[in-house]
Amino acid sequence: MSGLRERQKEQRRQDIAQAALELFRANGFGATTLEQIANQAGVSAPTVVNYFGGKQEILLALLKQPDEQAMRDARANLDEQSDPLDALCEFEGLMTDYQLQAMPASLWRELAPFLLTGELAQALSPWNAAVIEETKALLEHFQRAGKVRESIDIDVAATLFNQYANMAFIRLATETTQDRQAHALHMRSVLNLLCHGMLENPV
């Protein structure tokens, strides 16, 4: 029975998150209330609080899901022939595609001012740390394969990847017309610089 209860709880959690997303898309994040989310999900407001804590926590859960999927897909696509630049581009591209599918541009425009500084950015910091750790694991994979120099500071490279990818994504997501191809080309050029550096004979 405990397995059934856990599945029921997870289903209710998903129902609440989906209800919130529908309201965020229709009304915006700021205009949506916990009571509206509860009504949309067919539960009470205290139930929403019990499952998530508040609407900010629901938003954070919705933002995490696309990146979690991107991490799983990026790992699954790694093999002995993988190239560090291609792998980083694919990881960034998967995160970008899934996040764009998850939220409309109108919602990204509303959230953008709060994603890099303030309370929401602080709440997102553990998740940014998770993306950095995933990037480090990716780079360490290539370091073990002899495709990334041992002298490279993996922590710095992974943090730089995450920070720049965040800023580039916010710029893309808030554009009236999202030029996904131009974004991908730009990110490839930036990540090429990260991978190969500016020195003719790197040391």
Domain of 176, CATH number, reads 1.10.357.10
Q: Are 73 and 47 part of one and the same domain?
A: no
Q: Are 88 and 62 part of one and the same domain?
A: yes
Q: Are 49 and 66 part of one and the same domain?
A: no
Q: What's the whole-model pTM score?
A: 0.88
Mean pLDDT for all residues in the chain? 91
- Whichever domain contains 30, its CATH number is 1.10.10.60
Q: What is the pLDDT of residue 33?
A: 94
Chain segment 150-176, per-residue pLDDT in tens: 989 999 999 999 999 999 999 999 998
Q: Are 27 and 126 part of one and the same domain?
A: no
Do the domain assignments include residue 181?
yes
Do the domain assignments include residue 201?
no
Q: Average pLDDT in the 77-91 region?
A: 92
189/185 Cα distance (integer angstroms): 6
How would you label 36-45 residue by residue, b for 16+ Cβ within 10 Å and e otherwise? bbbebbebee
Q: Average pLDDT in the 180-188 region?
A: 97
Q: Are 177 and 86 part of one and the same domain?
A: yes
137/134 Cα distance (integer angstroms): 5
Helices (H), 103-153: 105-115, 119-144
Q: Are 90 and 179 part of one and the same domain?
A: yes
How would you label 63-91 residue by residue, b for 16+ Cβ within 10 Å and e otherwise? beebbebbbeebeeebeeebebbebbbbb
Q: Do residues 153 and 194 lie in contact, with contact meaning Cβ atoms separated by under 8 Å?
A: no
Total number of domains in the chain: 2
Q: Are 150 and 181 part of one and the same domain?
A: yes
Chain segment 42-65, per-residue pLDDT in tens: 999 999 999 998 888 999 899 889
Residue 53 carries which DSSP code? S
The residue segments making up the domain with residue 78 are 56-196
Residue 179 carries which DSSP code? -
Q: Do residues 109 and 174 lie in contact, with contact meaning Cβ atoms separated by under 8 Å?
A: yes
